[in-house]
Chains A and B, each alone.
Chain A
């Protein structure tokens, strides 16, 4: 189905999210329409009188699988990246890490890249070390402050772990970062620069200043009394997103390389489309112009006709303007026929990890022929005139699907996903 050159196939997936510590539990939670949102049990919520007292916090602490000594050298956003990347690597059956003594990875380091995006980076380290500097002085500031706060830290640590020598990159495009990493990987694989890329996104920045900042921008859900009902994409009662944390990683390979080593293929990144709104720093273009261009580009690079797209995994964060604008873009670029879902009803908004986690759920939808419901969608916004799955998961045989990701700054990244 690929328009140019050889295909890009998905051979591994890993995730840690508010619904579960791996892909399987995350997917089960999504299919069940479960919510990963809960009350934040921290003093600072009251100290700063934050209007938002809820978040989509990790279901499984990274330290349950990462050794203590390792964990203390990693920012939380690096820990989540490591957890998801290890799962994806094992899932792809790429062999021992190069760092082990009898390591025999099935890909050469010189043909392996790691591309991991983040929206915010190591904010928790920056904030924590700044507190230490102010309260205890320079002596107590960690020697690892900079590698823990730098936004390329997650990519660098995962790259070191697997011995990736062909390139380690960290796209930063707010809430499109995770999808942008996959788009970047697709380009490297298409150009035959590498055989394998570990690509994805990570985020862990639940803190007073991020919640405070997003609150001041009037973008956050305020349903503090009912956390599990707070994230409501496409619903008439929506009033913003719920901040989440987590990571998602995929292992992508050149089709020939995957075939030669007999890898199991779970789906394809058939095409990618990126664009910029050039409209406003935070608000999406209500006409969906830039978004529809990104969707159209993904279909064009994939060589897919709009009529073949059966499903769109929406970015829909549950803001009043954004959700409707996205459906306008879908109608322009694809038409009225795709079945939509909005995973953020369950997951909350994982910012830089969202695009990667949602690419995984789209890959699973195509593979399983199953579209998860949009949690908390009880009364569809009358301005949304498309078919949005609500209540129960829906069986749909899919030839192609689109995963949308958009970010503050007007970044639009769309991935065209097809079956193995």
Chain B
């Protein structure tokens, strides 16, 4: 199982790749939509890349619950 410290930098670089948000801005307390201005289409792209990177499955109904970066890190950590 990957630790939070291992997941965050990789997730941040995916967010940067997909949405153009500087990886340094992608910190755990940030909301994807409200703070990082990421739209629903980009969230799907981020999820697909995260699935490949971390070997997890993120179904659409689970994805909808991932509000903050920390939510995503926790989900990946507990499902990988």
Most chain-B Cβ atoms within 10 A of its Cβ — which of A69, A70, A140?
A69
A209 interface residue (CB < 8 Å to B): no
B56 at the interface (CB under 8 A from A): no
Contact of B20 among A69, A139, A142, A143 (CB under 8 A): A69
Tell whether B36 is near chain A: CB-to-CB under 8 Å: no
B41 and A143 contact, CB distance less than 8 A: yes
Q: Does B2 sit at the interface, judged by CB under 8 A?
A: no
Interface mask (B21-50 → A, CB under 8 Å = 1, otherwise 0) = 000000000000000000001101100100
Given contacts A139-B48, A140-B48, contact A70 B41 (CB under 8 A): no
Say whether B66 faces chain A, with CB atoms less than 8 Å apart.
Answer: no
Q: Are B19 and A143 in contact (CB under 8 A)?
A: no
Residues of chain B within 8 A of A139, CB atoms compared: 48, 51
The answer to whether A67 touches B20 (Cβ under 8 A) is yes
Q: Report the nearest A residue to B41, measured CB to CB.
A: A143
> Is the Cβ of A69 less than 8 Å from the Cβ of B19?
yes
Which residues does chain A contribute within 8 Å of B18, judged by CB atoms?
A: 69
Asked if A144 lies at the interface with its beta carbon under 8 angstroms from chain B, I say yes
How many pairs, one residue from A and one from B, have CB atoms within 8 Å of each other in the complex?
Answer: 17
Indicate the size class of the contact surface on chain A.
under 10
CB closest residue in chain A, given B20:
A69
Task: Tell me the complex Cα distance, A140–B45, Å.
Answer: 9
Residues of A within 8 A of B19 (CB): 69
| Complex interface residues of chain B between 41 and 75 (CB less than 8 A to chain A) | 41-42, 44-45, 48, 51
Q: Which A-chain residue is minimally distant from B42 (CB atoms)?
A: A143
- Note all chain B residues with C-beta closer than 8 A to A142: 45
Give, as a whole number of angstroms, the nearest-CB distance from A175 to chain B. 33
Determine if A144 and B41 form an interchain contact, defined as CB atoms under 8 angstroms apart: yes
Closest residue on chain A to residue B17 by CB atoms? A69
**What residues on B are CB-neighbors of A67 within 8 Å?**
20
Q: Which of A31-77 contact B (CB under 8 A)?
A: 67-70
2-34 of chain A: CB within 8 A of chain B: none
State the CA gap A140–B41 with chains docked (Å). Answer: 13
**Shortest Cβ distance from B43 into chain A, in angstroms?**
9
**In the complex, what residues of B have CB within 8 A of residue A70's CB?**
20
How far is B22's CA from A7's CA once the two chains are assembled, in angstroms? 47
Contacts of A143 in B (CB 8 A): 41-42, 44-45
Least CB distance from A19 to B in Å reads 31
A159-B44 Cα distance, complex, nearest whole Å = 25
Chain A residues contacting B17 (CB-CB under 8 Å) are: 69
With both beta carbons as reference points, the residue of chain B lying nearest to A69 in the complex is identified as B20
Query: Nearest chain A CB to B44's CB is how many angstroms away?
Result: 5
Q: Which residues of B contact A (CB under 8 A)?
A: 17-20, 41-42, 44-45, 48, 51
Interface residues of A (CB under 8 A from B): 67-70, 139-140, 142-144
Cβ contacts A to B, 16 pairs, < 8 Å = A67-B20, A68-B20, A69-B17, A69-B18, A69-B19, A69-B20, A70-B20, A139-B48, A139-B51, A140-B48, A142-B45, A143-B41, A143-B42, A143-B45, A144-B41, A144-B45
